[in-house]
Structure 1
Amino acid sequence: MDELEFRRRVYADPETTDSDVVEAAKNDERKRIFWQEQKQLDKQLKQALKVDVPDDLANKLIWQQSADEFTRHKRKHRWYLALAASLAFTLGISATMWYHQPLSIGGQALAHVQYADREKAHTLLPVDLNMVNAKLASFGASFNQMLDGVEVANYCHLSTVRSLHLIVETPQGKMSVFILPQRNDIAVPQEFADSHYHGESIQFNQANIMIVGDKGTDLSALKEAVKERIQFAV
C-alpha cells in the first residue's frame, strides 16, 4: 500500500482494523508512527468533545459580567450588559442547534470521489456477485444480479459513517455507488453537487444509496439498475 492510500485510509478512520492497513503499518515504521499519532489525535479530539456544560453556565456568565460591569462602571452603560446577555443566549442556542443537527453526508461523498481514480480493491479476490454480496450482508442487503462494470468494492468512511463504496465503469464514465445504513443522524440529500461532480440518492427503509458521477452526467441508468437489483432481508 502506497503512502497516499495509507494516509487516506487512516485519516478516514484512525481506529480501522482493516488487515491491509495493519499489514502496511507492520512493515513500515514511518506508517506505524503516523498511525499512532492519528490515533492519539483522534482520542484527544473525542475527549475534548466530552466537556459537560453546567446547567447554570449562562446564569453564571451573566452574573460575572454584571458584577464586573458594576465594579468598573457602577451604574453606567447598562445597555452593554443587556447586549452581552442577549449575545450569550443567542450563541448558546446556535451551538446547541449545530451540535444536534443531522450529519450532512453528500459533501463527504463528493470529496471521496475525488480519489476514486487512485482507489484500488482492498482484496485480491475478483469483484464478483459473491464478493459484493458478502460485503453488502453487513447492511442486510444483497444484489440479485451483479451490476455491470463494478471495478472496486471497498468499505469506506464518510465522516463517521461506515459505507460500501462501489466504483463502476459505465458508458457515461466512471461512477460511484455508496450504500449507507439508515440512521436518524444522517441527512442524505436528494441531490448534491460541487464544481466537478454531482450525485443523487435513493432512500429505502433499510438503507440510503448515493450515486455520484461527473457533473452533467446522466445517472438515471445506474440508479434504475441499483433499484432493480438490490434487495433487503426481511
Structure 2
Amino acid sequence: MDDLEFRRRIMSDPKYRDSKLTAAIKESETNSKFADEILDLDSKIAKAMSVDVPVDLADRILFNQSSAEKEDKIVRPNFAKRAMAMAASVAFVVGLLVGQVNWGNLIVPPAQANIADTAIKHVLDEKPFVDKLDEQVQSSQINAKMIPFAYQLSERFPYHVYYLNHCGFGKSNALHMVFQGEVGKVTLFLAGVASAKAEDFVQDEMSGVIEPIGNTSMILVGDKGENVSKIADQIVKIIKPMI
C-alpha cells in the first residue's frame, strides 16, 4: 500500500483497521503518527459536536409556537437566532480544532475561491511522497489518464513529467501531474470542477493559476518565482476535446 492510498483510507474512516492498514502503521513511524493525528482530530470533532440539549427545550418550543399564534408570530425569530448562534459556536470550535492540525483541510467549499485552497493543500499534503518519484511519464500515458475528462493532448507534452495519477479534488476527481517547470517542479490538476474565469493566486510561498477548460478546470501550482501563467498558456493550447 503506497502513502497516498494509506492516507485516503485513514481519512475516510479513522477507526477502521484491516491487516494492510495495521501493517502499514507498524512499518512506518510517519504512518503511525498520521493515523494518531486523524484519530485525535476525529475525537475532538465528535466532542465539539456533542452539544447538550436543554432539559426544557421541548417546553420552550411549544411555548414559542403557542405565543406566536397569539402574537402574530413575533417570537419565532428569537428561537431562530438562538439556534443560529449555537450552530455558529459549534462551527467556530470545530474550526479551531481543525486549524491545529498541519496536514490540511478536510472540508472544502465548492466555490471557485476555494479551488486554489484545495490545490495548495493537496500539493502540501502529498509533496513528501511525490517529490521522491520520477516515473518518466510519456505523453501517451497522459492521454490515457485524460480520457475520463474527455480531453486529449494535440501534441507531445512540452515538459518532463515526474508523476501522473488520478486523485480526489474536493468533491470531484482530477488528473494529478507533477512536471519540471522553468524554476522548479510544477503540479497540474485537471479537475471536474467548473470555474467562471481565469484567476491567478499566491499562497504559502507558492503561486498558481486557474484556467477554465469547458466544464473542467486546469490548476497549476509552482514555486513563488515560477511563471505559471506562461506555462498555463502553453499547455492550454495543446489540450483539445476528444472527438
Q: Does 1:8 align with 2:16?
A: no
Aligned to 2:163: 152
What is the TM-score normalised by the length of structure 1? 0.60
The residue number in structure 2 matching 1:25 is 20
Q: Indicate how the Cα distance of structure 1 residues 29 and 174 shifts in structure 2: closer, same or farther if over 3 A, else same.
A: closer
SS at match of 2:79: helix
**Distance change >3 Å, CA 9–CA 214, structure 1 → 2:** same
SS at match of 2:118: helix
The answer for the alignment partner of 2:110 in structure 1 is 102
Q: Which residue of 1 aligns with 2:145?
A: 135
> 1:172 — aligned with what?
183
2:79 to 56, 63, 85: 85
- Using structure 2 for the length normalisation, give the TM-score: 0.58
Q: Which residue of 1 aligns with 2:224?
A: 215
Alignment RMSD: 4.5
Q: Provide the C-alpha distance between the structure 1 equivalents of 2:84 and 2:171, rounded to a whole number of angstroms.
A: 29
Q: What letter is aligned with 2:9? A: V
Partner Cα separation in structure 2 for residue 118 and residue 141 of structure 1: 27
Deviation of 1:170 (Å):
1.6
SS at match of 1:199: strand
Partners of 1:156 and 1:12 in 2: CA distance: 14
Kindly tell me: are residues 6 and 181 of structure 1, through their superposed partners in 2, closer, same or farther at Cα, counting changes over 3 Å?
Answer: closer
2:63 corresponds in structure 1 to: 67
* SS of match in other structure, 1:130: helix
Change in 2 beyond 3 A, CA 1:182/1:108: closer
Asked whether the 8 Å contact 2:192–2:215 carries over to 1, the reply is: yes
Higher relative contact order (CA 8 A, sep 6+): 1
**1:206, 1:232 within 8 Å by CA — same for their partners in 2?**
no
In structure 2, relative to structure 1, the CA distance for the partners of 1:110 and 1:228 (3 Å cut) is same
- What secondary structure is seen at the aligned counterpart in 2 of 1:105? helix
Distance 1:176 1:162 in 2: 15
Structure 1 residue ranges, 4+ long, deviating more than 4 angstroms after superposition? 11-14, 88-94, 186-189
Counterparts of 1:137 and 1:160, CA distance in 2: 19
Q: Which residue is equivalent to 2:236?
A: 227
Change in 2 beyond 3 A, CA 1:125/1:174: closer
Shift of residue 158, structure 1, vs aligned partner: 1.9
Mapped partners of 1:189, 1:224: distance in 2: 11
Looking at structure 2, the residues matched to 25 and 153 of structure 1 have their Cα atoms a distance apart, in angstroms, of: 24
Code of the residue aligned with 1:142 in structure 2: it is Q
Deviation at 1:87, TM superposition (A): 0.9
Relative to structure 1, is the Cα distance of residues 29 and 217 closer, same or farther in structure 2, using a 3 angstrom cutoff? closer
- Any conservation in 1 of the 2:135–2:163 contact (CA below 8 Å)? no
Q: CA deviation at 1:62?
A: 9.7
- Cα offset, 1:179, TM superposition: 0.1
| Structure 1 Cα separation of the partners of residues 217 and 182 of structure 2 | 24
Structure 1's unaligned 5+ residue stretches are: 15-21, 42-60, 71-78, 95-100
Say whether the 8 Å CA contact 1:140–1:232 is kept in structure 2.
yes
CA offset at residue 165 of structure 1? 0.7
Residues 204 and 62 (structure 1), Cα distance of their counterparts in 2 relative to 1, 3 Å cut: farther
- Paired with 2:179 and 2:81, the residues of 1 have a C-alpha distance of 50
CA deviation vs aligned residue, 1:73-110 (integer Å, no higher than 9, x gap): xxxxxx9x67733514756999xxxxxx7343221110
